[in-house]
Amino acid sequence: MKTIDELLAEGVSGKRVFVRADLNVPLADGQITDDGRIRAVLPTVEALTGAGAKVIVASHLGRPKGAPDPAFSLLPAAERLGELLGKPVAFAQDTVGPAAHAAVDGLEPGQVAVIENLRFNPGETSKDDAERATFADELAALADVYVGDGFGAVHRKHASVYDLPARLPHYAGYLIATEVGVLQKLTEEVQRPYAVVLGGAKVSDKLGVIDNLLEKADRILIGGGMVFTFLKAKGYEVGASMLQEDQIPVVQEYLKGAEEKGVEFVLPVDVVVSGGFPDLKAKEPTHPDTVPADAIPAGQMGLDIGPATAELYAAKLADARTIFWNGPMGVFEHPDYAGGTRAVAQALLDSPAFTVVGGGDSAAAVRLLGFDENAYGHISTGGGASLEYLEGKTLPGLAALED
């Protein structure tokens, strides 16, 4: 995999460089609520513009249905990129049409243009190889060189991620090079004890990574909505909590397998519950209660790990030398249910371990709860991509950058 440093050494002055970024930022009423992914691509864009390249930044945002949708426009991300760069950024209101070509043709060396959401074109996400190839050909006409730096999308076999690199000289940007280096530390060069904290809503989203980590981790700590399927698998009643009944037999096999392999599986000893899901906009007090994990009352919904569990999890992380955390411990967006996620975030800071926060909601939680993100070993920009790498899968976007 060639890196951007090799590209810079070859010289890029005056060349049109297509940077596949991940600007898939969360929006509320058209406003960006977390610009972490935009900031993550800055080193690559600044290096290229500083070397005189004409930079075309492209990305997806959300899940539009293969057609333009104002709710998913990249314009807010383009404007924020310009603010962070401290220079104007041109914005094209299409992907490969007249506006995109005009924006690129108008670039002077050292300038940047952002083209509209790639997923506004059905060829970007098509499962039909020919349709994707046609779109990739159109994208390739905009540029001389390809730089892949959208780590959050490398697990997708999409035109701009997988097909386009084959059509242009291609290089890995700084973000992708960093992310891959970190993931190698979690799979090939692990310092032990190796502790993994997994949360989030659905256990089905994490089955593959749990399966693979049973061969690598020393202990696995479980929280979030997915934990109630684990508690049910142990025979506990979970009230009105989130539950994936169909996954209970699989979870029971994992618990059995962990015991056989000597991997410590740590589950909550107490849970914060309420009579219903909180209003995340109003964030009014909800009068939660804390109950033992094996005594959740009927009609009550578990929304966070309890304080005793938070203390237990901190102790289990204290002596670790490598920690990977993916998924919040509860509904961290509401102050009544942020305690568990806050405790895990703090425990990572207190540990001497190499710490990796695995993207998505975990990264958002670190920022929302006011932690210094630079104090962690690494905060990933791609939750899904990180998980699939840890599952041992081949990621199309990384394979496409290899020679």
- Catalytic residue positions, numbered: 37, 202, 360, 384
Residues in Cβ contact with 374 at an 8 Å cutoff, skipping those fewer than 6 apart:
none
Tokens of residue 180, six digits: 């891959």
CA–CA dist 273, 232 (Å, integer)? 16
Sheet holding 89-92, edge to edge: 89-92, 112-115, 54-58, 16-20, 145-148, 170-172
CA-CA-CA-CA torsion sign (206, 207, 209, 215): positive
Burial of 197 (0-12, 13-18, 19+ CB in 10 A): buried
Q: Give the three-class secondary structure for 14.
A: coil
CA–CA dist 312, 162 (Å, integer)? 43
Contact 141, 10 (CB under 8 A): no
CA–CA dist 183, 178 (Å, integer)? 9
Residues in Cβ contact with 22 at an 8 Å cutoff, skipping those fewer than 6 apart:
37, 40, 41, 59, 60, 149, 150, 151, 152, 153, 381, 382
